[in-house]
Amino acid sequence: MTTWDEYIARGLPGRLEAARRGENPTVIARLESGWAVLGDSQLLPGYALLLADPEVESLEALAEAQQMTFLAEMTRLGRAIQAATGCQRVNYGIFGNYDPYLHAHIWARYAWEDEERRQHPVWLYAAEERFAPDALFDVQRHAELLERVRSLL
């Protein structure tokens, strides 16, 4: 098993390989279109990603039926996160600018967030907040959340 720092350094394709080998501690479940995982930052509990498997560059690289499956499973993961966390709403994003590989971000948004922050994208939270040690995914601290989301999928 690798250390958390080694896992973080792998980037998304390395994390996909780790998921396939059963070594990715953030894995919620293997779905038809890919891997549902909790995100590195749990500042907003329930932040997750859907990592496409097999690896493709973009949503457009998939056949239409595969696109529909990926998007339906992304939404299914969002519903499970909302049910598991009681968040106010769920936001979705597919970018691929930094990691040019298909993956969807699923963010839980909460009524307890500052009003100004709730009206803007999550990435406007300062990196120092999002990646503070107490905001990072922790296998033990987030085990219950991971299991709740898994059971709801």
Q: What pLDDT score was predicted for residue 144?
A: 98
**Which residues partner with 109 through β-bridges?**
89
- Percentage of the chain beyond pLDDT 70 is 92
pTM of the model: 0.90
* Greatest mean pLDDT among 1-10, 46-55, 96-105: 46-55
* Domain covering 4-152, topology: HIT family, subunit A (3.30.428)
Q: How confident is the model at residue 15 (pLDDT cuts 50, 70, 90)?
A: confident
Q: What pLDDT score was predicted for residue 3?
A: 46
In angstroms, what CA-CA distances link 100 with 9, 31, 127, 128?
16, 21, 21, 25
Domains of the chain, residue spans: 4-152
